[in-house]
């Protein structure tokens, strides 16, 4: 089956962190370098955005608080109230701040686990186009009361994050490791253990790096292949590369399943000039339909 590709949201500089809200039937995402949060409502055909105070890493709804979101800005996780309209976001509270010992770091990717705990990662500063201070990031778990604990250190660029509860697995990508890790996952505590590389890019002749990813109900991973114009479908149980879907942008950043039945894959991209301009439609958000799979849902954050 050949998937159908559509452009659904106009270009931003660095689209990231797509989250599909089943309650609202809307897509939330950010543009990191534009310092903006975004809401796209397919049925209404609307796209709202609001400016934040710095580089913006993610936006995730807070469970039980309509129009309230956990938003990552620089090194802070903020509670933000936003109605989805242009320019209407208000900071309510600072939930947590991470990497206080490395103030040049920033948040990069985050998701809530199936119990609503926030897993959030950091990365080192970009000191030249496409060049980063390595091994300075960490992966954190943020509890509902805002307390935090480090799960991993010496991370280059924290990315990916998804869970397979049935198989007690957590999947994660440190992008400059050029691989995907599997951890044992304890849903009761949020603990992760026993990391193992289950997919190495060079073993499959792949260029670029792993970026954001999601999982379908069959347990297969869908991975954004940044700097290689691809979405990858991977079987994490045997490390097989099941499919490669060509995208019309070099910098494919992340993906999430959405739509009424969670059968559409919504893909964010970027148009960052790292020595070469990225031509249109780079930076747009796309919809892939007709994939023949159903996706796992995006979980909301639970805060006290």
Give the active site residues: 211
Contact (Cβ atoms closer than 8 angstroms) between residue 98 and residue 106 = no
Contact (Cβ atoms closer than 8 angstroms) between residue 215 and residue 167 = no
Cis peptide before 142 (omega within 30 of 0): no
Pairing state between β 148-155 and 158-164? unpaired
Strand partners, 229: none
Q: Kindly provide the b/e burial profile for residues 178-194, where b requires at least 16 CB atoms within 10 angstroms of the residue's own CB.
A: bbbbbbebeeeebebee
C-alpha to C-alpha distance for 77 and 52, rounded to whole angstroms: 12
Count CB-CB contacts under 10 A for residue 10. Answer: 12
C-alpha to C-alpha distance for 268 and 224, rounded to whole angstroms: 9
Cis peptide before 281 (omega within 30 of 0): yes
φ, ψ at 175 (rounded to 5°)? -55, -40
């Amino acid at each position: 089956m050949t998937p159908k590709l559509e452009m659904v949201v106009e270009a931003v500089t660095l689209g990231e962190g797509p989250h599909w809200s089943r309650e609202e039937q809307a897509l939330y995402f950010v543009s990191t370098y534009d310092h903006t949060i975004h809401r796209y409502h397919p049925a209404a055909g609307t796209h709202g955005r609001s400016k934040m105070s710095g580089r913006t890493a993610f936006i995730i709804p807070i469970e039980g608080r309509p129009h309230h979101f956990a938003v990552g800005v620089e090194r802070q996780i903020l509670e933000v109230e936003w109605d989805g309209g242009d320019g209407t976001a208000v900071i309510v509270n600072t939930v947590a701040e991470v990497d206080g010992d490395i103030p040049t770091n920033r948040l990069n990717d985050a998701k809530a686990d199936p119990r609503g705990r926030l897993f959030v990662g950091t990365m080192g500063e970009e000191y030249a186009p496409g060049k980063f201070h390595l091994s300075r990031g960490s992966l954190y778990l943020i509890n509902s009361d805002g307390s935090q604990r480090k799960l991993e250190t010496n991370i280059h660029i924290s990315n990916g994050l998804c869970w397979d509860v049935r198989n007690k697995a957590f999947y994660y990508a440190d992008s400059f490791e050029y691989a995907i890790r599997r951890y044992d996952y304890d849903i009761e505590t949020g603990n992760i253990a026993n990391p193992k590389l289950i997919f190495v890019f060079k073993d499959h002749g792949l260029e670029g790096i792993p970026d954001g990813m999601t999982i379908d109900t069959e347990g297969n991973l869908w991975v954004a292949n940044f700097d290689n114009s691809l979405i990858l479908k991977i079987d994490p149980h045997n490390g097989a590369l099941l499919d490669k879907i060509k995208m019309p942008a070099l910098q494919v950043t992340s993906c999430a399943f959405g739509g009424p039945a969670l059968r559409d894959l919504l893909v964010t991209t970027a148009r960052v000039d790292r020595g070469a301009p990225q031509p249109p439609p780079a930076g747009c958000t796309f919809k892939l339909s007709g994939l023949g799979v159903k996706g796992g849902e995006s979980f909301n954050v639970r805060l006290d």
